[in-house]
Structure 1
Amino acid sequence: NFFPDTDPNRIDINIEGPLGMNVDATNEMVREVQHRLGGLLQDSRETRESIKNMQVNVGIAATGGFGAGVPSAERARISLNMVDFADRKESSSVTMSKIRDAIGEIPDALIQVQGQEIGPPTGSPVNIEISGPDFGQVERMTREVSQKLREAQFAGRIPGLVDVRDNVSGGLPEYSIRIDHEKARQFGLTLSDIAQTVRIAVNGLEASTFRDGEDEYDIMVRLRKEDRDDLDKLRDLTVSQMGRQIPIVSVADFEEGIGPGRITRLDLLRTATVEADAGPGFSGPQILIQVQDYLDEYRAALPSGYTMKYTGESEDQEESFSFLTLALVISFILIFLVLLAKFNSLIIPFIIVIAVGLSLIGVILGLIVTRTEFSVMVFVGVISLAGIVCINNIVLVEYIKQLMDKGMPRMQAIIEAGSIRLRPVLLTALTTILGLIPLTFGIDIDYIGLLTEMDPAVQFGTESTQFWGPMGITIISGLMFATFLTLVIVPVMYSVFESLTGRVTEAYRSRD
């Protein structure tokens, strides 16, 4: 996963109706969702006691937060704030699953149940971009892909796939004015004259301002609302030209039709998107692989000029992991160069870098045993682990080298350094592991309560564990294995390489 799965403190139920739906109709849709949600809360005591309060917003922007966009009447959101993590009767993930089952499908409504995100915003686990030159074809293919995934979701063909949706919206009613250029020229009218007349009638013209104390109000002149919505009234407009009032229908035809509600372009191609989420207990990459296999035949049969690209969270994850991998490689190179400058030897830096690399075996074993998913926090733990392992090995190898420089035989120097450095290495590992145990396994102590009321209120399995736990497991498991490397494998490797170096040196001297 990109970030570790956590138990969200807030659950959002996003509701979206057809494009152009008024607020009253959206309200009715929200009431239906609330009614079904109320049935769930009445039937499930655990769910009812895990929710602190509910907030309903109608006419919201597409996404929350600063700069989220223009509010739309067809969108609404029901936010459920959960009680404190320790007081929940069930996890938020279980609550989200129950909410999806209770709400089900509502005609003409797109329902999405999602938890509060932790970390920077990312795309959906499943994000499919369909592009092509003709938007009608793109729209058709998008609806087909969306329908296929919904069928797979409800038939159980792709376990864990939830909240399938697309951004293809229904068309909006529009009036088109087709101007006869030849007739307009005969009357001496330009396109600007006709457009300005229609614009003033619909949008209005600021004629003056009205002052009320220190406040100013614009006085707009335009048609009444009922006339602006009446195509016959718009046909009665006249265009002024040299003192003459020319009926607009003399030079133009009015057509009533449906226009696209939204057109998105990607690399100059018209694009639509199909999205879906991963249910509790399922990782985004795991769901994406199943979706790719399921749509493989459909993708292969796309017409020429049309593409279907998988982006979203997987693309963000690939970019982030590539960056962190590069950072890890660069850190290894820098460690090697610094050690090379310090010891003036290729052998010691090579041994220490190998020890750091071998410590990853402990990391992998720790992740397997604890069934922890690989995420960004594991990468952060690996980079932190590399620094700890380097320090322990540098101190040990440097002490061996100092003893050998004083004339002590190699094997005796290795044994002496190992016995002397045994306690510091073990204490370093032990203090680091003990310090990370509360963060990793969620041991929380109320020190204020301990000092004021002698009540520590010890709590196990805290909220922060879900996010920081993978990093702690990485460092602990890697450090336990690296301690064995430092005390046993590294001295053996040093002895072997020193022995080989001595033999190679003697061989060259014998040739001379």
Structure 2
Amino acid sequence: MALLVGNPAMPLVTAGVVFVFVGTVMIFFGNNSKGVEFFVESEPEQAIVYVLARGNLSLDEKDKLLKQAEEIVLKHPGIQTAFAFAGEGGLNNNTGGAQSPKDTIGRIQLETIPWEDRPEKVTPLFTVPLLGFDINRTTQDPAYDGDVIIAELSEQLAALPGIRTETLNLAMGPASGKPVHLRIKSDSFDDLMSATAQVRAEFEEVPGLTLIEDTRPLPGIDWQIDVDVEKAGRYGANVVAVGAMVQLVTRGLLLDTMRVESSDEEIEIRVRLPEDDRVLSTLDTLKVRTLDGLIPLSNFITRTPVPKLAEINRVDQKRYLDVKADVAPGLMKVVKTTRIDGVDVDTTLATLRPAGNDADITTADGTAFKITQRTEAARGTDLVAEIEAGALRLLPINPNERIAEITKWLDEKPLPFGVTTEWTGDQEDQAESQAFLSSAFTAALGLMFIILLAQFNSFYNSVLVLLAVVLSTTGVLIGMLVMDQTFSIIMTGTGIVALAGIVVNNNIILIDTYQEYERYMPRIEAIIRTAQARIRPVLLTTITTMAGLAPMMFGLSLDFAEGGYTIDSPTALWWKQLATAVVFGLGIATALTLLVTPSMLAIRVWATTYIRWIARLLAKMSMGRASKAARDWALQRDTRRRMAEEIIWDTDTLASTQPAQASTSASPLSPAE
């Protein structure tokens, strides 16, 4: 520590190296991270399969189509239970606002085998060098993973003729609808329909997007009845009477309302024509009573077939339609990076999905994938060999990554004039959560700064304490890279906010001790003594905290009741990113704090010393030798040249002289004295 702060150059070098290291880590993370996600992705144990078909189907016909899908679901070995319901209704599930598609004829709710009850599989962990002995571990069979089951069911259900299926993942975590949710707005309905069809076609082409739907009206015909008011007036008929006759054919003419004991709401009393006469052709034979007698309605009304329009939705006084999609979980993309004009350009070669026994590629950590889509750029490329050689990278496909790809397409191929788009749904929730965590983080730093300023009575020391928060963020980014994790807005963001209140404790201890020591010793010596005195408690508290969170970071769950342990259970996956943020953030921040804090304190000491020296030199040069500043300068110079006087206190001589002095003082005075 004396070498670090004992001269003016080393503190500057140390602080500069640390800040360059922090900047390098942030740049490297931006170029090599696995992206950002809203919440931790966990494998589902429940799902809803929507069976879709169009046409005027009876309930029995819907049930027959639903049974075909139900048989496929029940045959899968990974399904524990399934509940099917044809027609409207079904179980009331928390789908986070994800409404069923408009052409749904039935739904199947399924539950997979619980994680702890799944069959086990023995996989090799590593081989002992020289001995050739294999160390194995027992894990749950990956073929029973919830994501794998849903992917296999989706492929099997897609082969059913006459129907389509959509599978909604009911994963744990905050309930939400489909994460890729684009809202299209326009004042022109024709442009809105055209833009929606164009965006829907692009969604179909983007790999990884599933359960694609839009809110365009379903194909159908509505009959528009127009009344020629002028011609009706000639016959003495009014619009009210004509409307009443039309209601007799449609929903009925309201007469009154009544209350019954079995209902809290009023029941309408309507009069309608007999069921056989409730057809549009009846309007040609109906007659309306006028002053001139009965006049046929067909004399002044016309029927025109128009496209069916089920509903009209507006936001900010503009009509809008939505295009929604989900992202298949666990997908990866194979990326090849090439440098063009000094810029790294990523090209996607293929898309991979989680696989069981039909795997095409197995990564170094044992994860199995199957190639589902190859791009034109992958033609003639041996993907397996290139991936094993490290020439290609595997990057996760998540909603944020797909949204970025579609946003790039929207920028390159603009929609018709007057059409605007905005991302809603999960993207909107993510932006709100990110804004909340950012404001909470800023408020926490502000409150800590006020408390530190009141305690230390120094702006410099207060800012220096909060500098540990920036260093801890660097540690979090390193943890994401080392543990190969995605940055989670909720869990990682919460870890950073919590970490801000932990890492400042080390700086508080160091600076508080330094302020105490500097009262009675030189300030450089106080910095050295502070580091020597406080390094042990700082390291002990950091190591114990990191050790306590290490099992959570590695996904280790201990069963104290029945014994044993599990790794990467669905519940443990929730906390891995938060624990990783705290462990790496605290460890890296502590190591850097023990270097930066003494260096920054020494920089202030040396800067103050040199500023005073330069000020006195300037004062001497400007005021002359007779000035007070010049005399002080000369006195300090002479003092430094004069060797300090050394006083040697001989304890033996002192001990021998003290008895003689005592006896002399005790003798009586002589008469002469």
Asked if the contact 2:249–2:280 (Cα under 8 Å) also holds between the matched residues in 1, the reply is no
* Equivalent-residue separation in structure 2 for 1:115 and 1:465 (angstroms): 19
Aligned to 2:502: 388
Indicate the RMSD between aligned Cα atoms, in angstroms.
3.4
1:476 aligns with 2:506: no
5+ long unaligned stretches in structure 1: 42-47, 153-157, 450-454
C-alpha displacement at 1:503, in angstroms? Answer: 3.5
Residues 36-435 of structure 1 mapped to structure 2, 5 A cutoff: 36-38=72-74, 41=76, 48=77, 50-60=78-88, 64-65=93-94, 74-88=104-118, 89=141, 90-104=144-158, 109-122=163-176, 124-150=178-204, 152=205, 158-204=206-252, 205-206=254-255, 220-228=270-278, 230-241=279-290, 244-281=293-330, 282-294=397-409, 296-297=411-412, 299-300=413-414, 302-376=415-489, 377-405=491-519, 407-435=520-548
- Aligned-partner SS, 1:169: coil
* Equivalent-residue separation in structure 1 for 2:425 and 2:159 (angstroms): 25
Asked if the contact 2:557–2:566 (Cα under 8 Å) also holds between the matched residues in 1, the reply is yes
Decide which moves more: 66-75 or 185-194. 66-75
* Equivalent-residue separation in structure 1 for 2:598 and 2:185 (angstroms): 59
Identical-residue share of aligned pairs (%):
28
Which of 553, 556, 560 does residue 440 from structure 1 map onto? Answer: 553
- Aligned-partner SS, 2:481: helix
User: How many residues matched?
Assistant: 488
TM-score with structure 2 length normalisation?
0.65
* Equivalent-residue separation in structure 1 for 2:440 and 2:284 (angstroms): 67
Asked if the contact 2:249–2:282 (Cα under 8 Å) also holds between the matched residues in 1, the reply is no
* Equivalent-residue separation in structure 1 for 2:403 and 2:258 (angstroms): 58
Decide which moves more: 104-113 or 267-276. 104-113
Aligned to 1:44: none
Asked if the contact 1:124–1:312 (Cα under 8 Å) also holds between the matched residues in 2, the reply is yes
Q: Which amino acid aligns with 2:403?
A: L
Cα pair distance change 1:457/1:189, threshold 3 Å: farther
C-alpha displacement at 1:108, in angstroms? Answer: 6.3
Q: Which amino acid aligns with 1:224?
A: P
- Aligned-partner SS, 1:168: coil
- Specify which structure has the higher proportion of helix: 1
Which of 17, 21, 25 does residue 53 from structure 2 map onto? Answer: 17
TM-score with structure 1 length normalisation?
0.84
* Equivalent-residue separation in structure 1 for 2:259 and 2:581 (angstroms): 69
Cα pair distance change 1:105/1:313, threshold 3 Å: farther
Q: Which amino acid aligns with 1:485?
A: L
* Equivalent-residue separation in structure 2 for 1:319 and 1:422 (angstroms): 41
Cα pair distance change 1:28/1:271, threshold 3 Å: farther
**Larger Rg computed on CA atoms:** 2
- Aligned-partner SS, 2:226: strand
- Aligned-partner SS, 1:175: strand
- Aligned-partner SS, 2:50: strand
Q: Which amino acid aligns with 1:499?
A: W
Tell me the alpha carbon deviations over residues 474-502 of structure 1, each in whole angstroms, 9 at most, x when there is no partner. Answer: 01100111221333332232222233234
* Equivalent-residue separation in structure 1 for 2:259 and 2:448 (angstroms): 73
* Equivalent-residue separation in structure 1 for 2:175 and 2:217 (angstroms): 24
Tell me the alpha carbon deviations over residues 397-428 of structure 1, each in whole angstroms, 9 at most, x when there is no partner. Answer: 101211222x0333443343333333332332
Decide which moves more: 259-268 or 87-96. 259-268
Asked if the contact 2:50–2:100 (Cα under 8 Å) also holds between the matched residues in 1, the reply is no
C-alpha displacement at 1:363, in angstroms? Answer: 1.0
Aligned to 1:155: none
